[in-house]
A and B are shown apart, each in its own frame.
Chain A
């Protein structure tokens, strides 16, 4: 199935959870927030969130700012 991860298209051969996808791309998830289809997903729900075809996943992190 095809998903979008921060505007990049990715192909997955098997169903995957949000937690697994994040682990694969960002093993250190300290200071990260995630939205699926523009809805923020609480960290406690990452494991049980099964990603669906065409889902748009956005990862955010903290940067310096005023």
Chain B
């Protein structure tokens, strides 16, 4: 079972709530994914517009909420967003993300580490989105992050595990759960991550932007389960060509 900061999860699939065309589709997709932890963002209220009630249906679904600090470009902004999120949602869980780079949305390692250190001291359960940098992941672990969330590829790019070599090192060193966040575009890529021994994956775009998000959510659920099962069963490593059937010489009699 996946355990993050003393909380246990039977599902190893975290999902985002962004980019869905309709709220109903999003809720049905989350339901089909069997996710137990979903991300949300914060924004300033538009005084002239009503606001959609997103929280009631999510709470009804029984999922835990993981607010993010999306939009923050510095540690200071992320800390402000974290405090707001804690107020708005009554949770100290936080997906810390700081990306000043608007083109690739790559996380800022220095600001992320700085913010993580402060937020852990303030009692937050910090899950930082970060580059697949083994040393940075160690540092984030040392300052008390409850998990690390290295990227597989840039957010929304759907390029899969471009950082595989480094994810392997992160997995070898990690004392906290490793969650691949960003870049996974297809269930096969999620299965590949799980087979490596990644503890969980966070998927948003690949589900929300598919033609049938509900079916895709279910496909990801199954892929994550299959990948985990394969990891636990011990995936056979690569080797030289070797027959999997006995090479008996029965043709010699011909």
Residues of chain A at the chain B interface (Cβ within 8 Å): 5-6, 8, 25-26, 30-35, 38, 40-43, 58-66
Contact = CB atoms under 8 A, between A and B. Distances in A.
Contact of A66 (B19, B54, B84): B19
B44 A65 contact: no
A62 B40 contact: yes
A31 to B, nearest CB: 5
Interface in B134-192: 155
B9 interface: no
B128 interface: no
B42 A63 contact: yes
Contacts of A43: 87
Nearest to A35: B84
B204 A40 contact: no
Given A40-B84, A64-B40, A65-B41, 18 more contacts: A6-B44, A6-B46, A8-B47, A25-B47, A31-B55, A31-B88, A31-B89, A33-B84, A40-B83, A43-B87, A59-B44, A60-B44, A62-B67, A64-B19, A64-B23, A64-B26, A65-B39, A65-B68
Contacts, number: 93
Q: Is the interface of B mostly helix, strand, loop or mixed?
A: mixed
A59 B83 CA distance: 13
B34 interface: no
Given A6-B47, A8-B47, A31-B55, A64 B18 contact: yes
A9 B54 CA distance: 28
Contacts of A62: 40-42, 54-55, 67, 88-89
B18 A65 contact: yes
Interface in B5-51: 16-20, 23, 26, 39-47, 51
27 contacts: A5-B47, A30-B55, A32-B45, A33-B83, A33-B87, A35-B84, A38-B80, A40-B84, A41-B87, A42-B87, A58-B44, A61-B43, A61-B51, A62-B40, A62-B54, A62-B55, A63-B41, A64-B18, A64-B20, A64-B41, A65-B18, A65-B41, A66-B18, A66-B155, A66-B202, A66-B204, A66-B205
B85 interface: yes
Nearest to A25: B47
B87 A66 contact: no
A27 B16 CA distance: 28
B17 A66 contact: yes
A43 B86 CA distance: 11
A8 B46 CA distance: 10
